[in-house]
Amino acid sequence: MLCLGIESTAHTFGASVVDGKGKVLSNEKAVFTTEEGEGGMIPGEVAKHHRQHKDEVIKKALERSGKAMKDIGLISFSNAPGLAPSLIVGMETAKELAKKNSIPVIGVNHCIAHLEIGNLVTESKDPVLLYASGVNTQVIAYEGGKYRIFGETLDIGVGNFLDSFARHCGLGFPGGPKLEKLAAESKMKKERKIIELPYVVKGTDVSFGGLLTNLKQKFDSKKYAMEDLAYSMQETVFAMLIEVSERAMAHTGKKELLLGGGVACNKRLQEMAKIMCKERDAEYFVPENQFLVDNAAMIAWLGILEHKAGIKSYADKLDIKPYERTDDVIVKWR
Ligand code: ATP
Ligand code: FE2
């Protein structure tokens, strides 16, 4: 069976065709971006972007897969969590296509999809997932019939934190890759300065609000080199993420760490995760970048898993769930 996946929780509108065994035949997307400066994501604007691009993205996904709409047996879309106006575009598109082609449609949770695609494309089986993206920062693992959140951010997501700091410094959006580059430059310098920053870990939770204010003040004071700020920021923030991941691994007794989310593209974060796993004799897994960032392949794959597990959904009862939490979902497919 072939599944057409549709992703539209935030800035990415994606479409992908995946087969019943998990072979990804195509994985296409259009991403809403803003100009340099203070502009952020305005939900209405993002939804408009998705409406403009949805048909071409779906067409491309079908073309690249070498399949036609008539070959598709299931449609899966991300109905949670996310920005309501964006989620609606994905849902309307999915329902319309399902109705027109008389095929079933299913709505799935975006955060869980990040974990399941990791299990599909790496060798991980029962990992602790460090899900580090724009809006979301969670440490998730399977326990007692659900994917439970063992730790999370108490305020903003780590990606939004990076983007907000970068925007303040005039680096543009998205900030994560730009700060990574600057941090690497600092590492090359002979007289690099490590700047002490607030390190905020509470049990298995993290918080970035205070650190963000502190960094902005340091930048405004003009006393520090930008690359040293970027370097020290990365060392601090990623150490916080790795510490809570390790604590969740110790708590659950799990021996695998999986990375997910756009921030996990960062090579320094990957390196720190790898070292931590080696030190505690655990296995470390990271999917390639196209499956770390928001993508529709993961939505198609979770749709297939749920469908195979006999989870039925009815188009007229399906709705978006902007605030659904990872542990609201009963996992019947494991
Ligand atoms: P979600 O809706 O799942 O919360 P998202 O919509 O923000 O996520 P993602 O594609 O998962 O989307 O992640 C985007 C974030 O990843 C941005 O904040 C961006 O700055 C960050 N990012 C991307 N590449 C890197 C990198 N190399 N280093 C650090 N951060 C990065
Ligand atoms: Fe995501």
Question: 3-class secondary structure for the chain?
Answer: CEEEEEECCCCEEEEEEEECCCCEEEEEEEECCCCCCCCCCCHHHHHHHHHHHHHHHHHHHHHHHCCCHHHEEEEEEEEECCCHHHHHHHHHHHHHHHHHHCCCEEEEEHHHHHHHHHHHHCCCCCCEEEEECCCCEEEEEEECCEEEEEEEECCCCHHHHHHHHHHHCCCCCCHHHHHHHHHHHHHHCCCCCCCCCCCCEECCEECCHHHHHHHHHHHHCCCCCHHHHHHHHHHHHHHHHHHHHHHHHHHHCCCEEEEECHHHHCHHHHHHHHHHHHHCCCEEECCCHHHHCCCCHHHHHHHHHHHHCCCCCCHHHCCCCCCCCHHHCCCCCC
**Dihedral sign from CA coordinates of 124, 127, 129, 130:** negative
- Same domain? 102 vs 220: no
- Same domain? 69 vs 17: yes
- Same domain? 176 vs 52: no
Atom of ligand 1 nearest to the CA of 82: 2
| Cβ 74 vs Cβ 103: under 8 Å | yes
- Same domain? 314 vs 220: no
| Cβ 285 vs Cβ 256: under 8 Å | yes
- Same domain? 170 vs 261: yes
Beta bridge partners of 140: 129, 149
The pLDDT confidence band at residue 37, using thresholds 50, 70 and 90, is very low
**Percent of residues, the chain, with pLDDT higher than 90:** 91
Q: Quick one: 104 exposed, middle or buried, by C-beta within 10 A (0-12, 13-18, 19+)?
A: middle
Q: What is the mean pLDDT of the chain?
A: 95
What is the span of the domain harbouring residue 232? 123-286
Residue 12's closest CA among 97, 86, 85, 117?
86
Taking residues 93-119, what's their average pLDDT?
Answer: 97
312, pLDDT greater than 70: yes
- Same domain? 104 vs 69: yes
Does 34 reside within a domain? yes
Q: Which of 33, 46, 138, 265 to mutate to test the pocket of ligand 1 (most atoms within 8 A of CB)?
A: 265
Task: Output the pLDDT for position 40.
Answer: 65
Task: Output the pLDDT for position 35.
Answer: 59
Q: Which residues line ligand 1 (CB under 6 A)?
A: 9-11, 133-136, 157, 159, 162-163, 174-177, 180, 261-263, 265-266, 293-294
134, pLDDT greater than 80: yes
The 10s digit of each residue's pLDDT in 218-273 is 999 999 999 999 999 999 999 999 999 999 999 999 999 999 999 999 999 999 99
- Same domain? 132 vs 271: yes
For the chain, what is the domain count? 2
pTM for this prediction: 0.95
Task: Output the pLDDT for position 39.
Answer: 54
CA distance 184 to 182: 5
Q: Ligand 2 centroid to 114 CA: how many Å?
A: 7
CA distance 255 to 319: 36
| Cβ 76 vs Cβ 3: under 8 Å | yes
124, pLDDT greater than 90: yes
Amino acid identity, position 101: N
How many residues are there in the chain?
334
- Same domain? 169 vs 67: no
Q: Ligand 1 centroid to 262 CA: how many Å?
A: 3
Q: Whose CA is nearest to atom 7 of ligand 1?
A: 134
Q: Ligand 2 centroid to 120 CA: how many Å?
A: 16
- Same domain? 179 vs 228: yes
Taking residues 71-78, what's their average pLDDT?
Answer: 98
Task: Output the pLDDT for position 106.
Answer: 97
- Same domain? 55 vs 178: no
- The CATH number of the domain holding residue 311 is 3.30.420.40
Amino acid identity, position 24: V
Does 302 reside within a domain? yes
Does 156 reside within a domain? yes
- Same domain? 275 vs 303: no
Task: Output the pLDDT for position 249.
Answer: 98
Q: Ligand 1 centroid to 176 CA: how many Å?
A: 7
